[in-house]
Every structure is written in C-alpha cells, then in structure tokens.
Amino acid sequence: MSFSQSLWNANQALFQSTLELPFNQELASGTLSRERFRHYMIQDAHYLVAYGRALAVTAAKSDNAEGVVQFANAANEAVVVERALHGGFMRDFGVTPEQFAATPLTPACHHYTSYLLATAWSATYPVAVAALLPCFWIYAEVGRDIHARSAKDNPYQAWVDTYASEEFHAAVRGVCATVDRLAEEATEATRAAMHAAYKDAARLEWMFWDSAYRLGDWQGSLR
C-alpha cells in the first residue's frame, strides 16, 4: 500500500463523519441555508489566502524544482481560481469587499489557518506537505461524493463542480505522488510526524464545516 493510502485509511472514520456533517448533507440536497453558506464563503475566502501563503512557503522548502512549481502553482490556484469561485458567490449573496474585509476569522478558521502557517514555516518539507494534503484530498472526495447525489438545480452546484472536477483531482494525485516519494525517503520518525500532521489537518477540515453550520463565532466579549 502506498504511504498516501495509509494516511487515507488511518483517517477513514473521520472522513466518513465529514461526509455526514449536516453542512455537507444539506450542501448535497441544496437545502443548506443561504446564511450558513454565506458564513462559510466569507471564512473560506479568508482561509484561502492563508492556505495560499502556506503553499508558497512549502514551495520554497521543496527539495527539487518540480516541487517548487507544484506548490507555487497550487498557491496560485487557491488564491486566483478558488477565490474567483467565492467572488461569484459573494456577489450573489451581496457581500461587498468592505463587508468581507470587516469580518474577522472565526475561531475555527483562525485555528486552521494558524496551524497550516505554523506548520509550513516550522516543520520539515515532508511534514508540511502532509499537513496540506487533506486540504486537497478531502475537498476532492467530498466534492465527488456530493456530485454523485447532488440535487437537481442545486444552488451550490458551482462549488460542487469545482471540487469534483478532473482538474482538482489531478492536483490531488500530484500531491499524493509527492507525499509518497517523500515518505519513501524519510525516517520512521518523519513518517510518524507526517501521519500526525495529516490527522491534525483532517480534523481541522471537519471543524471548519461544523463551525460554518453552527455559524461559529467568538463568544460575547471575545468578539
């Protein structure tokens, strides 16, 4: 079994519970409230900038030229392509650039982006790549799962199509191939750290959707 497959298998139950989250169930049926999707979109647009930075730092740490291009391209995709999708939804939902800029990161978004940035800056290249893999892989598999059962005239179809697309899945295969090569060359301790990083990020993916469904925010005087 490949190392990336072992990461996936070790977190299979977590992935299943991600699919079962009310946010994703209602995204598939098209019944997710506009308020919840709007909340998610704003937080995800914040997330994508930090994620793009983490990818760029990881690109700079790469041990070869291919990795520089792979992760620099992924940073570009996150900030330009994915955020364009969000821009379309923001317009539909009447979120102005000023409203977006004035909306702080929720605890879940703050936690996840801080984790990715800290890992990208402080961990070794193989561990940083393992921490980024769930952002690719879980979204691609959630996208495909929802695509297979998405309601007709789903208002969120553009989101579903983006993450179910062959282009997005090709990027996942590329990151898995890099993870597999790095794991092959790594010590046992590094492989264990890669497993831990993957799991941390997979849990934070779960929390991000759960928080969006709950309209998560800082409590009372913490705002």
Ligand X SMILES: Cc1ncc(CN)c(N)n1
Residue numbers at the binding site for ligand X (CB under 6 A): 44, 47-48, 78, 82, 135, 139, 205, 208
User: Of 79 and 123, which has the nearer Cβ to ligand X?
Assistant: 79
Token pair, residue 137, equals: 């892989």
User: Of 70 and 190, which has the nearer Cβ to ligand X?
Assistant: 70
Taking the C-alpha atoms of residue 89 and residue 159, their distance in angstroms, rounded to an integer, is 9
User: Of 89 and 191, which has the nearer Cβ to ligand X?
Assistant: 89
131 within 8 A of 120, measured Cβ to Cβ: yes
Taking the C-alpha atoms of residue 154 and residue 27, their distance in angstroms, rounded to an integer, is 8
For the bound state, the minimum distance from the C-beta of residue 168 to ligand X, rounded and expressed in Å, comes to: 8
DSSP code of residue 220: G
For the bound state, the minimum distance from the C-beta of residue 74 to ligand X, rounded and expressed in Å, comes to: 9
User: Of 78 and 182, which has the nearer Cβ to ligand X?
Assistant: 78
47 within 8 A of 109, measured Cβ to Cβ: yes
User: Of 37 and 208, which has the nearer Cβ to ligand X?
Assistant: 208
Q: Token pair 């469904």 is at which residue?
A: 213
Counting Cα atoms < 13 Å in the Cβ hemisphere of 63 gives 12
For the bound state, the minimum distance from the C-beta of residue 4 to ligand X, rounded and expressed in Å, comes to: 17
For the bound state, the minimum distance from the C-beta of residue 192 to ligand X, rounded and expressed in Å, comes to: 24
User: Of 78 and 186, which has the nearer Cβ to ligand X?
Assistant: 78
For the bound state, the minimum distance from the C-beta of residue 109 to ligand X, rounded and expressed in Å, comes to: 8
Taking the C-alpha atoms of residue 7 and residue 91, their distance in angstroms, rounded to an integer, is 38
Q: Write the CB contacts of 4 (distance below 8 Å, at least 6 apart in sequence).
A: 133, 176, 179, 180, 183
21 within 8 A of 150, measured Cβ to Cβ: no
For the bound state, the minimum distance from the C-beta of residue 91 to ligand X, rounded and expressed in Å, comes to: 18
- Determine the length of the chain: 223
92 within 8 A of 38, measured Cβ to Cβ: no
